[in-house]
Amino acid sequence: MKKESKASILLGAAFLMATSAIGPGFLIQTTHFTSILAASFGFVILTSIIIDIGAQMNVWRIIAVSEKRAQDIANAVLPGLGIFLAILIIIGGLAFNIGNIAGAGLGLNVLFGVTPELGALMSGVIAILVFVVREAGKAMDRFTQVAGFVMIALTVYVMFTAQPPVGEAVIKTFSPDTIDVIAIVTLVGGTVGGYITFAGAHRLLDAGIKGKESLKEVTRGSISAIGIASIMRIFLFLAALGIVAQGLTLDPGNPPASVFQLAAGNIGYKMFGVVMWAAAITSVVGAAYTSVSFIRTFSPYLEKYHKWIIIGFIIISTAIFVSIGKPVKILILVGALNGLILPISLGVMLIAAYRPKIVGDYKHPMWMTIFGVAIVIIMAAMSVYTMYSEVPKLFT
């Protein structure tokens, strides 16, 4: 593989994972919790970034050295476990994709005045076209990269316009007034929970970047992916903080739109439309691709027709939204649910790292194992607490 081609694939995998994370739920969760926690939300972001990096490095490395997809690794650990994991991932991916399609429809509604339902249908067609072209992998990589750069650039502009209290944000990041467990679980779940952390790793497998000889590049790519998502999270947080610090109130029905509109007027509102659509459509592509990648190895038929199954996944997501829609609170809930999936999937990967029949003679770094086990324990405890104690409050 040519150096340029390999670099392009690694960047594409990083952006696929990052833009899969940066969807409507990502925008809503970030602005929602900023409106509640203000500058102290910086601590939540810092904590989530540390957890995200630990989870992502472990998962990507183990998938690369095993040269198997996550579901096949899980089945090798315990027969049937891969099917169970695939079911969890697909349910979470479908739930997220309904929200993603809805966000894409809302973005086009803001930009062109079409109904959200019509906007969702148009966006679904665009997402399908990405997989219809001959070289779908290359088209997906380029599409997510361009959309990712556009999102970040527009959010940076709004951040500067909002004039956030950066000094206060830095101080509260390390000395918060309050620590919000549900915010941490939701952010981690929305960044590396469910299907998201596997998006880039499975893309690298499909592109042939695997094995011990590729570990250095795979590790760098996994960190880059978290870096891209985290940069967007930080910029959006600062933009929202600038608005909150001015004493302005965000619309609970659409908090990210409020940030852009209050910071930059009608132009800002149109910018929000672009950001929302770009975030949503790339997440539609990432969620569909990765969710289907969890079942395509179960039979030759699924492997042969996986592109059409991806297209069907997008069609089903679109049809469900057009039929029933989605509330903002559901996107926050799905992020929390994906946070519950993370300790299960990461735990399976860590067990696999010590099975020679899966990873051969590869020796997983002890510090990564300790880091990963700590994340499994912490996320399991916080997720259970969140699901039983905090999530019901979202619906009261």
| CATH of residue 42 | 1.20.1740.10
User: Is 346 exposed, middle or buried (CB count within 10 Å of its CB: 0-12, 13-18, 19+)?
Assistant: buried
Q: What does the pLDDT read at residue 392? A: 61
* 147-163: pLDDT as tens digits: 778 888 888 988 999 99
Our CA angle for 378, 384, 387, nearest 5°, is 135
Q: What pLDDT score was predicted for residue 255?
A: 86
Specify the pLDDT at position 331: 56
* 282-332 pLDDT, tens digit each: 888 888 888 888 888 888 888 888 889 999 999 998 888 888 765 455 555
116 and 106 Cβ atoms separated by less than 8 Å: yes
Q: Is the pLDDT of residue 363 over 90?
A: yes
Per-residue pLDDT of 16-58, as tens digits, reads 788 777 888 788 888 989 999 999 999 999 999 999 999 999 9
pLDDT, tens digit, 9 for 90 and up, residues 81-132: 999 988 888 888 887 888 888 888 888 988 998 888 899 999 999 889 888 8
Could you read off the pLDDT of 239-283 as tens digits, one per residue? 999 999 998 888 887 788 889 899 888 898 998 888 889 888 888
The whole-number pLDDT of residue 41 equals 94
Q: How many CB atoms lie within 10 A of CB 84?
A: 15
> DSSP state, 134?
S
What is the pLDDT at residue 240? 92
Structure tokens at 306: 């996986």
Query: Into how many domains does the chain fold?
Result: 1
* Residue whose C-alpha is closest to residue 345's, from 200, 227, 197, 182: 197
pTM for this predicted structure = 0.84
Q: What is the pLDDT of residues 170-192, one digit of tens each?
A: 999 999 999 888 888 888 877 88
Model confidence at 385: pLDDT above 50: yes
> Position of tokens 């609170």?
329
pLDDT at position 327, please? 42
Q: pLDDT tier at 62 (50, 70, 90 boundaries)?
A: very high
The answer for residues whose C-beta is within 8 angstroms of residue 176's C-beta and 6 or more apart is: 37, 40, 42, 43, 44
Note down the domain range covering 226.
3-395
Alpha-carbon torsion 255, 258, 259, 260, what sign? positive
